[in-house]
A and B are shown apart, each in its own frame.
Chain A
Amino acid sequence: MTDSTPALAIRARDLLFAWPGKALVIEIEQFSVARGERVFLRGPSGSGKSTLLGLLGGVLTPARGEVSLLGIEISALSASARDRFRGEHLGFIFQMFNLIPYLSVLENVLLPAGFSPARAARVGGDLQAEGRRLLAALGLGASDLLGRPVTELSIGQQQRVAAARALLGKPEIIVADEPTSSLDHDAREDFLQLLMSECRTQGSTLLFVSHDTSLGHLFDRVVSLGDLNRAGRT
């Protein structure tokens, strides 16, 4: 179970995946991300991006091969152990509609703590204060914002709330799936700067998935999913 190189945050090897009755969507020989590294994964829609994130998030199990996160081979874990692992060590930010509409801003940020006691414990001390601190760090310090229904926020604000939620409890890996594609150009870079600086503070690894290469220069490394994934290539 324990990987020989725990310095890697993400390691996928000989990964094969196909939806039942369909052609292969993922065939990856080797993909790894070092701890603390910020990687830009470039993938147009239809490149198997969602499936790869499902495999890395432990929601899907590969037909063959292994996925190891933080030195743990999660593809060998039981479904509920993978769910626990995800809640504890991973933070997700999606393209849009990241928030539960019936919860307040702060409640949305604190959501992971409710499902993962370990992550709540890592916050140590006052959960609410940590939630507020993260929101403030991401530029949402105004107190009147916290109690408001999330549906009243702008998309940019919603994405920052989602980022604060992903960062809560210092998960080792942050996976962001097109988090900026519904933002305009200035807001995009702004958001990314805030996200990256917070990741650096927390020591989190960032896997940023996007089809928009204009942001690639801000990252340590740019990887093209098209080069990585041999499935679907003719």
Chain B
Amino acid sequence: MKTLLLALRSLRNRRTTALLTISAIAISVALLLGVEKMRTAAREGFANTVSGVDLIVGARSGQLNLLLYSVFRVGDATANVSWQSYQKIARHPDVEWTIPISLGDSYRGFRVMGTTDQYFEHYRFAGERKMVFAAGRPFTDLYDAVIGADVAQQLGCKASSKIIIAHGLGNVSFAQHEDKPFTVVGVLERTGTPIDRTVHVGLEAITAIHIDWQSGMQALPGGRVSAEEARARDLTPESITAFMVGMRSKVMTFTMQRAINEYRQEPLLAIIPGVALTQLWNLVGIADTALMIVAAFVVLAGLLGMLTAILTSLNERRREMAILRSVGARPRHVFTLLVAETGMLASAGVAAGVAICYSLIFAGKPLLERRFGIFLDPGGLTGYDFAILGTIIVSALLIGVLPAWRAYRNTLSDGLTIRV
């Protein structure tokens, strides 16, 4: 107890060095903890991209490919799913609902997705969250569109804006569906998922804008179908890109998945989104592991800085040690004194680091949500966080053994001789 008090007084005497050491540790700890918090938030955000959907069905390709184009709007489908197959599965008694998806067009770089109002009804993200309209309503008319938050913000669109969809996916497309403009009728709240970057229209609208197109080209002016004429046609699509399935009973999910994968009329692939998301995260998650490793090395650098500071101070403190020895301190007191110092520096650094990290999270939370759709839940320190922080302090104490050992040796050889 007495020794701890001495260690504290001694540190206070060298407060400039001590504060600098503590700052270095604090910053590194804040970084490590921040990376860990962001990592958790990113992982959760990622896993929460889609929920409430039991199966995603598309043409047979790869599990990740299907997930990427149907949920993340990345990449392209290799083939479509025929309307007949879709209808057959949608009417299956175990299936409660389906959300058809038709992709392929874009609006100024944002993907256009044809779907039905089932999408707004059943699609969930971040656990149980439903899409919410920041303005307007779902599409009702053939040429209505509902846009995500990023589309609205980046392109300055709002309800009642007119938009012209481009054929294909390029940012700059020469082929435009300019004869059939859409009216934005709804803007969605930010979700932090790819929904924010999507323009949603009715499934029939996709058929309608392509009604007079053949092999990627619009028919010559004579053969064209006007926007109004299209309304009178049968707009049932021949095929869709993919569809999502909600089962009446979750128990039937695997049976249905197998049935779809073994469907004979058409090569189809059914995936369970959760499984595919985990697989995808294992791929992209390497980046955040790398970030974590970098942060861990920064902490190590902070601890080595502390070691340097203490080792440097040892020589000028030999006198102090000899005085302590002369009044009855044993070598183990000297040892304890130095280990206690590292323990105090590291503990103060860790505490300050936690404070810095939380201040930054609270300060940056609104910005992260608004700009990046990352819902950073500061929460308390998790058991894992405590394990990390505990490891840092234990490492510091272990590192502290080195100067303590040096001082111990000095003490034994110096004895009561006060070297100046």
Contacts and interface: CB of A to CB of B under 8 A. Distances in A.
B323 A84 contact: no
A99 B418 contact: no
B415 A115 contact: no
B9 A87 contact: no
A114 B2 contact: yes
Nearest to A88: B328
B328 A115 contact: yes
B2 A115 contact: yes
Interface string B1-33: 010001001101100000000000000000000
Contacts of A60: 415
A170 to B, nearest CB: 14
Nearest to B325: A59
Interface stretch (A34-42, A89-97, A183-191, A219-227): A89-97
Nearest to B5: A114
B406 interface: no
A87 B329 CA distance: 7
A111 B333 CA distance: 13
A102 B6 CA distance: 9
A84 to B, nearest CB: 7
A112 B417 contact: no
A53 B415 CA distance: 9
A102 B10 contact: yes
Contacts of A177: 416
Contacts of B10: 102
A208 B77 CA distance: 97
A92 B325 CA distance: 10
B323 A83 contact: no
A80 interface: yes
Nearest to B14: A102
Nearest to A50: B417
Interface in B322-362: 323-333
A102 B12 contact: yes
A86 interface: yes
A107 to B, nearest CB: 8
A92 B9 contact: no
Given A102-B12, A115-B324, A115-B329, 15 more contacts: A54-B416, A57-B415, A59-B415, A86-B328, A92-B326, A94-B326, A95-B418, A97-B319, A97-B323, A97-B420, A100-B6, A100-B323, A102-B13, A115-B328, A119-B328
Interface of B: 2, 6, 9-10, 12-13, 319-320, 323-333, 415-418, 420
23 contacts: A50-B416, A53-B416, A54-B415, A59-B415, A60-B415, A79-B330, A79-B331, A80-B330, A83-B328, A83-B330, A83-B331, A84-B328, A88-B328, A92-B326, A94-B323, A97-B319, A100-B320, A102-B9, A102-B10, A102-B13, A115-B2, A116-B328, A165-B327
Which 8 pairs across A and B sit closest by C-beta, in order of nearness? A87-B328, A102-B13, A59-B415, A115-B328, A92-B326, A83-B330, A54-B415, A114-B2
